[in-house]
Amino acid sequence: MSSRKREVVIRQAEIDDLAAIFHLGEKVFTSQAFSNLYRTWDEYEVTTFFNQESENLLVADDNGTVVGFAMGTTIEKARSAWSYGHLVWLGIEPEYARSGIGSMLFDRFKRLMKKQGVRMLMVDTQADNAPAIRFFRSKGFENPTEHLYLTMQL
C-alpha cells in the first residue's frame, strides 16, 4: 500500500468541496478524452448531485485537498423489481493515480448502493478509455454491452 493511500480519507462531500470537485473534473474529463457523450462535465453536474443526493457524492481527502471523487445515483426501472445504481462520475487527481484511491472511492460507493437496496451496479465509459475499463474490470464489472451514439450536423 502506498503512503499516499494511507493518508487519504473517503468522506461525503461538503459544500466547500464543490469548487475543487468541479476543477478536478475539468482536468480529468477532457472533451476529447473521457467525458460521456450524453453528459457534459459542468458546474451543474456537481451542484445538482450535491443538492439532490449528497449522500452519493464522495470525495477522497488528502489532508484537506480533494484528490478524487465519485458520484452516482439510484435508478428504479419500470417492470423491474430490481433497483439499479449508476456510478456516473469517478475522477482521480492524475498525480495520485494507481495508488488505490479510485478503489477506495468505488468500494465506499458500492457499500452505499447496497445500503440503498441496489442489486445491480452500472458504469459506462467511452470504448477507448482503456484505463477506466481495466479499472472497472478489476472491480468485478463484466458483460460490457455496446451502445452506439450517432451524430448529425445541423
Ligand X SMILES: CC(C)(COP(=O)(O)OP(=O)(O)OC[C@H]1O[C@@H](n2cnc3c(N)ncnc32)[C@H](O)[C@@H]1OP(=O)(O)O)[C@@H](O)C(=O)NCCC(=O)NCCS
Residues that bind ligand X (CB under 6 A): 28, 34, 89-92, 97-103, 125, 129, 131-132, 134-135, 138
Closer by beta carbon to ligand X, 85 or else 100: 100
Q: Would you call 63 exposed, middle or buried from its count of C-beta atoms within 10 A (0-12, 13-18, 19+)?
A: exposed
Identify which of residues 79 and 94 has a Cβ nearer to ligand X in the complex. Answer: 94
Distance between CA atoms of 4 and 15, rounded to whole angstroms?
A: 24
Shortest distance, CB of residue 17 to ligand X, whole angstroms?
Answer: 16
- Cβ closest to ligand X, residue 81 vs residue 128: 128
Determine whether 44 is exposed, middle or buried from the number of CB atoms within 10 Å of its CB (0-12, 13-18, 19+). exposed
- For ligand X, the nearest residue by Cβ is 102
Q: Identify the CA nearest to 123 among candidates 48, 69, 73.
A: 73
Min. distance of Cβ 123 from ligand X in angstroms? 7
Minimum CB–partner distance for residue 48 and ligand X (Å):
16
CA-only gyration radius of the chain, Å: 15
Give counts: helices (H), strands (E), the chain: 5, 5
CB of 42 to ligand X, least distance (A): 15
